Amino acid sequence: MPRDSVKIGLLGMGTVGGGVAALLARSDGLLRERTDIDFVIKRVLVRDPSRKRAVELPPSVFTTAAADVLDDPEIDVVVELIGGIEPARTYITAALQRGKYVVTANKDLMAQHGAELLELARRFNRNIFYEAAVGGGIPLLRPLKHCLVANRIKRIIGIINGTTNYILTRMSQDDMEFDAALAQAQALGFAEADPANDLDGLDAAYKLAILAGLAFHSRIDAGAIFVQGIRDVTRQDIHYARDLGYTVKLLALGERCGCDRVGDTLALRVHPTLVPLDHPLAAVHNEFNAVFLEGDAVGEVMLYGRGAGAAPTASAVLADLVDAARCLRSELENGVMESKFKPEALLPMSALSSRFYLRLLASDRPGVFGALATAFGDEQISLDMIIQKRSEAGVAEIVLVTHQVSEENFSRALKRVTALPAIQPRYSIFRVLS
Amino acid sequence: MPRDSVKIGLLGMGTVGGGVAALLARSDGLLRERTDIDFVIKRVLVRDPSRKRAVELPPSVFTTAAADVLDDPEIDVVVELIGGIEPARTYITAALQRGKYVVTANKDLMAQHGAELLELARRFNRNIFYEAAVGGGIPLLRPLKHCLVANRIKRIIGIINGTTNYILTRMSQDDMEFDAALAQAQALGFAEADPANDLDGLDAAYKLAILAGLAFHSRIDAGAIFVQGIRDVTRQDIHYARDLGYTVKLLALGERCGCDRVGDTLALRVHPTLVPLDHPLAAVHNEFNAVFLEGDAVGEVMLYGRGAGAAPTASAVLADLVDAARCLRSELENGVMESKFKPEALLPMSALSSRFYLRLLASDRPGVFGALATAFGDEQISLDMIIQKRSEAGVAEIVLVTHQVSEENFSRALKRVTALPAIQPRYSIFRVLS
């Protein structure tokens, strides 16, 4: 293997940059074990080197001169986390020209100048990885590029802006007015002080441009996407929508249209949309994101998760870093090497804890429920829910749901309970997801 | 680029094999354009070469002798779609020993002998791709191997058996008994004539072994997984569960347990489980599959789609074929090359069709609704739902939902409607997902 260590130059150390450094520090041993590569942050471009950082790095690592990162021949991969168009665009251009791989989380830049930067990367036989630009840590771009490569994608439907989804969820679930929901989103950090790009749908349009580019193998002009934001959605509309069987979501929609009327073309748009309550996207609440895809072979696929936040975004950046490192090593293995996995003992079921649902039939005579309760109590099992239906023909049906209990204790209690003469031999046990 | 064509040897041409050949034929131009590779099926091992096939291949391609595939030095990738342990295991072993890459959809084999086969692949500097072994075409193994590489996975919760999920959905939604739901699943092809492996949870356990291996970077003994099938779930249980706020799903659960009591270990199990109705997995209906993951950095992620069927499975097999071809070419690009994408014009919004939700306020005087209806009728817009609330202070609120109409027609109708003196200037429009 030609190299054991990959040297990283970080541009920017704000929320996401700090998250990347923290995750790299935390999962250092993990990544080394999984990839046989040491990832080393060699230089970090910051505005103020004296500022306290959450992750400790040697002071000599920090610089205020971009050239210290971009011109360092030892740096293999430049990770751009400044955001915005300039100077990010100039820095990425310089990095590619100097033969470095690039990882970026910059959706504005990739939506508006991705095509030119990826073409430049190709000319220099390098690549740009940008999984973190859309949907935080949700696997989106790699599945589109790799897993669905044999599909013609017919349609994308995405909830890809966490701020607006949080606001619409609050309006819907807590019957809040728009302004109050926005204020709450800002207080919780789900909306910025200036939320215009989110509320007006521009953030979603940029992300849609990136997703649609990969889904439809096309260069998208992000500025040509129809955009309607959520400022006009009222509590009243949400009520009506619910009465009609819908919930209101800001959707980013992309479709390949092959009709006679317009020929083969793309339709892209972002607008508030009534989503049928039984559609999987209707269940995407709060700050969560999800992208629903229809491929001609795979059918319907949905990818769901946290679309923002330092740790999820860092998860995507590190995955990109590993891919860049694999490219540097011309690695054939194309992923984690399962052959390195070690055998591991499984925990026996008896050592686990579960919540249990138990249904049984009991003769309707005095003392039965007491005996049952005693059996559970003796095994430290507390009950969360109890239902006893009116007995028929002297037989009562009892349904119990326990709190979290050890499998061992539960099975001992069950043995005692089912040995009671008043309890019938047929019963049902299921575990409850907690 | 060292090669322009990749020669494939297919082992087996049943449902999945036929699906692979069909998708390869259908997306031939697509794959060539996306990857610069020609994929050619050179030999196909079948039991009966004279049988009619859905996809036309030259008769000389078919053989009944495995050696014709395995010993052919021109064949680069062997795609094993026979299923079961033997002779699949012997064939894959031979293919690897002869320097071929292997693609397989064989969950039984990978769950029980994956470790030894992957180790053999490593020794011969080759690889086995098996995305299709779990969850059909849903991106699962690649996201686990690549996208989430920087995460410690804490928990997997999967609905990974379509047969049982179909049966439980019917029991729950149509209030059917188990036997009737099973019969319907069999009639529709969602359950096999001998459904034991599905109903008893063994199929799910094998898939869990594969998923958990990748999620926890571990070699799993599939036989040690606790399994409870769904034969004991009754309609009655499903009723009670619903009363309590749950739905019943066959879940495959994997957790890394790091408690003091047992040290660092894994807990794996398959059993019917009550899932809270507001959990994303509760909305996974019918034959759909979904895997819910919790990573320490990425948080909660869910991957959802069709877990079986010829076309979805073929989608995964072809993605694996592309990866194998990339390995053969030692390709650095690591995926689709976006730089090859071409600019494309977007369809203007006016050329699209949508369903519309319109809310407006109208003076409560005779003729208003007629004028409104005429404006819509003149533009060929038919209405799906209409609500008019009792008017307050002489003003009536009207909510309309249209059927699919052209954006152009709708906006013309809207202009006419809002020009009516009886209609107030503030109104809301949203589009309805269809």
* pLDDT reading at B180 higher than 90: yes
* pLDDT reading at A333 higher than 50: no
In a shared domain, residues B213 and B288: yes
- Strand pairing category for B342-343 and A395-402: unpaired
Number of domains chain B contains: 3
In a shared domain, residues B241 and B92: no
A 10 A CB-CB count for B325 gives 23
- Mean per-residue pLDDT, B245-261: 83
- Mean per-residue pLDDT, A379-406: 87
* pLDDT reading at B4 higher than 80: no
Name the residue in chain A with its Cα closest to that of B331: A330
- Mean per-residue pLDDT, A231-255: 90
Chain B nearest C-alpha distance from A63 (Å): 27
In a shared domain, residues B200 and B84: no
In a shared domain, residues B297 and B165: yes
Closest CA to A19 of A289, A309, A319: A309
> Which residues in chain A have Cβ-Cβ distances shorter than 8 Å to B142?
139, 142-143, 146-147, 335
**Range with top average pLDDT, A349-363, A394-408, B308-322:** B308-322
Helix axes A368-378, A407-419, angle to 10 degrees: 150
* pLDDT reading at A342 higher than 90: no
DSSP B231: T
CB-based contacts of B389, cutoff 8 Å, min separation 6: B396, B397
Question: Omega into B87 within 30° of 0, i.e. cis?
Answer: yes
DSSP A194: S
**Range with top average pLDDT, A97-106, B2-11, B374-383:** A97-106
- Mean per-residue pLDDT, B146-172: 95
Name the residue in chain B with its Cα closest to that of A219: B343
Name the residue in chain A with its Cα closest to that of B120: A339
Annotation says A340 is catalytic = no
β-partners of residue B274 are A432, B248
CA torsion sign for B417, B419, B423, B424 is: positive
- Mean per-residue pLDDT, B220-229: 90
- Mean per-residue pLDDT, B157-177: 97
Which pLDDT band, with edges at 50, 70 and 90, does B240 fall under? confident
Gap between the Cα atoms of A79 and A103, Å rounded = 5
Which pLDDT band, with edges at 50, 70 and 90, does A215 fall under? very high
* pLDDT reading at B335 higher than 90: no
Name the residue in chain B with its Cα closest to that of A136: B298
Inter-chain touch A217–B243, beta carbons under 8 Å: no
**What pLDDT does residue B331 have?**
56
**What pLDDT does residue A212 have?**
93
CATH of the domain at B26: 3.40.50.720
In a shared domain, residues A127 and A175: no
Virtual torsion, Cα B234, B236, B240, B242, nearest 10 deg: 70
Tell me the DSSP string of B33-89: HHHS-EEEEEEEE-S-TTS--SS---GGGEES-HHHHHT-TT--EEEE-S-SSTTHH
- Mean per-residue pLDDT, A210-222: 90
In a shared domain, residues B334 and B386: no
Q: Where are the beta strands (DSSP E) in B191-287?
A: 218-219, 226-227, 246-257, 265-276
**Gyration radius of chain B over CA positions:** 28
In a shared domain, residues B257 and B317: no
Inter-chain touch B302–A306, beta carbons under 8 Å: no
Q: Are A18 and A54 in contact (CB under 8 A)?
A: yes
CB-based contacts of A392, cutoff 8 Å, min separation 6: none
- Strand pairing category for A353-363 and A218-219: unpaired
Residues of B annotated as catalytic are: 207
> Which residues in chain B have Cβ-Cβ distances shorter than 8 Å to A388?
none
A11-63: per-residue pLDDT in tens?
A: 999 999 999 999 999 887 888 888 888 999 999 999 998 888 888 899 999 99
Which pLDDT band, with edges at 50, 70 and 90, does B346 fall under? low
In a shared domain, residues A115 and A183: no
- Is B244 exposed, middle or buried, given 0-12, 13-18 or 19+ CB atoms closer than 10 A? middle
Alpha carbon distances (Å) from B397 to A79, A157, B359, B368, B374: 54, 31, 7, 12, 18
**What pLDDT does residue A263 have?**
65
Tell me the DSSP string of A22-86: HHHHHTHHHHHHHHS-EEEEEEEE-S-TTS--SS---GGGEES-HHHHHT-TT--EEEE-S-SST
CATH of the domain at B274: 3.30.360.10
Q: Where are the beta strands (DSSP E) in B277-348?
A: 288-295, 299-306, 342-343
CA atoms within 13 A on the CB side of A88: 22
In a shared domain, residues A166 and A216: yes
In a shared domain, residues A388 and A256: no
A 10 A CB-CB count for A160 gives 30
CB-based contacts of B259, cutoff 8 Å, min separation 6: none
Helix (H, G, I), strand (E, B) or coil at B175: coil
Residue carrying the six token digits 């996207």: A281
Q: Are A210 and A204 in contact (CB under 8 A)?
A: no
> Which residues in chain B have Cβ-Cβ distances shorter than 8 Å to A327?
332-334
- Is A384 exposed, middle or buried, given 0-12, 13-18 or 19+ CB atoms closer than 10 A? middle
B103-142: per-residue pLDDT in tens?
A: 999 999 999 999 899 989 988 888 899 999 999 999 999 9
* Lowest mean per-residue pLDDT among B132-146, B196-210, B229-243: B229-243
In a shared domain, residues B153 and B133: no
Give the domain range for residue A175: 141-306
CATH of the domain at B363: 3.30.70.260
> Which residues in chain A have Cβ-Cβ distances shorter than 8 Å to B315?
147-148, 150-151, 295, 297-298
- Mean per-residue pLDDT, A203-222: 92
* pLDDT reading at B392 higher than 60: yes
In a shared domain, residues A104 and A13: yes
More confident of the two residues A344 and A249 = A249
- Mean per-residue pLDDT, B17-24: 94
**Catalytic one among A7, A42, A100, A207?**
A207
Closest CA to B41 of B252, B317, B298: B317
**Range with top average pLDDT, A58-72, A340-354, B379-393:** A58-72
**What pLDDT does residue A338 have?**
58
Helix (H, G, I), strand (E, B) or coil at B411: helix
* pLDDT reading at A332 higher than 50: no
Gap between the Cα atoms of B97 and B89, Å rounded = 12
CB-based contacts of B60, cutoff 8 Å, min separation 6: none
Residue carrying the six token digits 């680069």: B76
Inter-chain touch B311–A299, beta carbons under 8 Å: yes
Inter-chain touch A35–B257, beta carbons under 8 Å: no
> Which residues in chain A have Cβ-Cβ distances shorter than 8 Å to B265?
344-347
pTM of the complete model: 0.89
